[in-house]
Amino acid sequence: MSDAPMPFLAHVAELRRRLLWSVAALGAATIASFSFTETLAEYLMHPVDGLSFVYLSPPELFLAYVRIAVLSGLVISSPVILFQIWMFVRPGLLQKERRAILTGLFFGAFFFAAGAAFSFLVILPFTLRFFLQYATERIEAVFSFGEYVGFVTSLVLSFGAAFELPVITAILAALGVVRGSTLAGARRYAVLLVFIVAAILTPPDVVSQVLLALPMLLLFEISVMVAKRIERKADRRRAREEAETAEA
Tens of pLDDT, residues 83-109: 898 888 888 778 877 887 788 888 888
Position with higher pLDDT, 50 vs 135 = 135
**Does residue 3 fall inside a structural domain?**
no
Note whether residue 194 is domain-resident.
Answer: yes
Please indicate, yes or no, if residue 1 is contained in any of the structural domains.
no
Tens of pLDDT, residues 146-189: 999 998 988 888 888 888 888 888 878 777 787 777 878 878 88
pTM summary value: 0.74
**Distance of alpha carbon 215 from alpha carbon 194, whole angstroms:** 10
Q: Distance (Å, rounded) from C-alpha 231 to C-alpha 181?
A: 9
Residue 81 lies in a domain: yes
**In the predicted model, what is the mean pLDDT of residues 49-71?**
89
216 within domain boundaries: yes
Predicted pLDDT of residue 1 = 47
Pair 8, 47: CB distance under 8 Å: no
pLDDT over 80 at 33, yes or no: yes
Instruction: Tell whether 61 is covered by a domain.
Output: yes
Per-residue confidence (pLDDT) for residue 205, from 0 to 100: 66
Q: How many domains does the chain have?
A: 1
Are the CB atoms for 116 and 11 separated by under 8 Å? no
One-letter identity of residue 231: E
Residue 112, in any domain of the structure: yes
Q: Which of 62-71, 125-134, 193-202 has the lowest mean pLDDT?
A: 193-202
Contact 153, 116 (CB under 8 A): no
- Whether residue 124 lies inside any domain: the answer is yes
Helix, strand, coil percentages for the chain (3-state, nearest 5): 80, 0, 15
Residue 53 lies in domain: 8-247
Can you tell me the distance from the alpha carbon of 203 to that of 43, in angstroms, rounded to the nearest whole number?
A: 20
pLDDT number for residue 182:
80
145-162 helix and 124-132 helix, angle to the nearest 10 degrees:
140
Tell me what pLDDT residue 59 has: 92
